[in-house]
Chain A
Amino acid sequence: MEIINNLALGISVAFTLENLMYCALGVTIGMFIGVIPGVGHLAAISMLLPLTYYVPATTALVMLAGIYYGAQYGGSTAAILLNLPGTPSSSVICLDGYPMSKNGRAGVALFMTTIASFVGSFITVIVLAAFAPPLANFAVAFNSADYFAMMLLGLVAAAILVQGSPAKGLAAVVFGLMLGMVGTDVSTGIQRYTFGLTFLYDGINIVAIAMGIFGVTEVIANVGKVAQIKNDQKITFRSLLPTKRDVKDSVFPILRGTGIGTGIGILPGTGTSIGSFIAYALEKRISKDPSKFGKGAIEGITAPESANNAAAQSAFIPTLTLGIPGDAVMALMLGALLIHGITPGPNVISDNPDLFWGLVVSFLIGNLLLLILNIPMVGLWVRLLKIPYPILYPAIILFIVIGVYSINYANMDIMLVAMFGVIGCVLLILGFEPAPLLLGYILGPMMEENFRRAMLISRGDLMVFLERPVSATFFALIALFLCWSIYSAIKQRRSPVEGEL
């Protein structure tokens, strides 16, 4: 039985003291930043990215992943108690979670969202373990032309599915691709975009970009906005217990939410928020009594909560099997792999089975830990909401700058963080999403390498991309995506003149 051997391998990896410790550290940090509004998981993951230089690749991924799915658990707490989403994906939870809390059912809401999170994650981890290896086996036969086409599809999909205008999404991707080219060209040794500055010869460090665009920008955008929180609710252990009806009403919404989240998480560029919105909309549509939504319907919190957790786990499927990150968090995961010299792609699972299976088992452990962290200790997390933001953000900025400094002990890296913080703010004002930019930055160098290799093999014939069935399929999908986005833009505005790409 292969699966048993694999799981045994995973258990042997995940249960080492170091990995258990980092798993616990990751989920606790994730829970912490999830609970606190104004600190997102992207900021936290980029803040801890430098730490991955000090630990093995598996351990690094175990911790970073823990932050990601831990934040999905924590995000609902502030949404329920204060009507403030702790993470973007939990903004849907506000709709019914806050009314529940006003009705004096905050405890039940917290308990049920935890259970929904756990079920959603757990099922999706099993899906990941079952489907990722066959998918990777299929993709092993890809050659460089297929790779290039697949990455291009990932970028186009990420740019178009992102919120806001697809043209802006594509522009962000192109800008990211250019950032990825900064430094010495691998094949010719020629400097590109370095302007004669020696510290750019090795390229821009991923940590500097991620910390600037996600960490610093997020802090700047939140200063003064996150008000001093007054929260006097006491959550007793007894108030957590749901009624039989709550449980009965939640079983199918949780399963539907998990299904939606898993599907959405696999698509590139979607992230966890879209999954939870769709899950909420579906529950409202199929409900016998849609009027109860917005007034504290239990389905309105359990379905989206299981969806966003499922999406957080299933996002690992394309990342680990194809090397295509679905969102910015997954791009950072790939960055962590690259830091350790592991090239993302279909070979990751077969070349590093300990990494993949260790990660899968660590997901199960992490989710169990989160269940333990959440239910008995809910009062502690609620109290955390009282930490004022003015104390928090200087600490975040400090850890960002020390973190980036610690990589090369180069103060120019800190300057880059400041620069990307400003760039991130400009992007925010102009309505460009930063996630496609990071995807472009990560995939850019790999794409260029594969493009050049394909061109070398075909002796400069661009038709090679349409002759191979796999790459032709990907290009057809790209064309389909572009047509669909033009069509929906036209349909939305009813006039072809006003359609924006």
Chain B
Amino acid sequence: MGPGYLPRVLGYFLGALGVLIIAFSAKTATDFPKINVRALVCITAGIVVFAFLMNPAGLFISTITLVFLCGLSEKKFKPVRLALLSLALCLMSYLIFILGLNMPIRLFPWSF
């Protein structure tokens, strides 16, 4: 048996289970639980943008962007509160991750 053996077996299993679930879902189906789509989009976008900004732009700019994008998932946009929160979080992550744990993380676009 080679490296492809187990993936293939698991593929068959997953297919069979899928058929089973579909076959019986018509009778057991319930409504989908509602999920906050706005939060899903905003928070995912925030994380993705953070991933791309982290290396070129550094921790502070990425943090501020992330906090504001997350804040968009609320119905009311509160820029002042988000600004204060993002500054506080910048300070906290600087203290914990850079001073406390000595992680080599870039702070600003122009640092190292």
Contact = CB atoms under 8 A, between A and B. Distances in A.
Contact of A192 (B7, B32, B103): B7
Interface stretch (A125-133, A137-145, A333-341, A414-422): A414-422
A398 B49 CA distance: 12
Interface string B37-49: 0011001101110
B40 A397 contact: no
B76 to A, nearest CB: 9
Contacts of B2: 188, 190
Nearest to A497: B27
Interface in A44-58: 51, 54
Given A167-B24, A411-B54, A460-B1, A406 B103 contact: yes
Given A174-B10, A188-B2, A428-B35, A418 B48 contact: yes
B57 to A, nearest CB: 11
Contact of A216 (B18, B47, B104): B47
B21 A168 contact: yes
Interface in A485-501: 498-501
A411 B51 contact: yes
Contacts of A411: 51-52, 54-55
A215 to B, nearest CB: 11
Interface string B54-79: 11000100010011001101110010
The majority secondary structure among interface residues of chain A is: helix
A220 B36 contact: yes
Interface string A157-179: 00000000101101100110110
Contacts of A216: 43-44, 47
Contacts of A178: 7, 10, 14
A394 B36 contact: no
B17 interface: yes
B3 A402 contact: no
A391 B70 CA distance: 10
Contacts of A417: 47
A256 to B, nearest CB: 34
Interface residues of A, number: 60
Contacts of B101: 51, 54, 406
Interface string A388-421: 0011011101110110011001011011011001
Interface in B19-34: 20-21, 24, 27-28, 30, 32-33
A174 B17 contact: yes
Nearest to B44: A418
Given A174-B13, A394-B66, A498-B24, A221 B35 contact: yes
Given A174-B17, A223-B73, A418-B44, A428 B7 contact: no
Given A171-B21, A411-B52, A187 B39 contact: no
Interface of B: 1-4, 6-7, 10, 13-14, 17-18, 20-21, 24, 27-28, 30, 32-33, 35-36, 39-40, 43-44, 46-48, 50-52, 54-55, 59, 63, 66-67, 70-71, 73-75, 78, 81-82, 85-86, 89, 92-93, 97, 101, 103-105
Interface of A: 51, 54, 165, 167-168, 170-171, 174-175, 177-178, 181, 185, 187-188, 190, 192-193, 216, 219-221, 223-225, 390-391, 393-395, 397-399, 401-402, 405-406, 409, 411-412, 414-415, 417-418, 421-422, 425, 428-431, 448, 451-452, 455, 460, 498-501
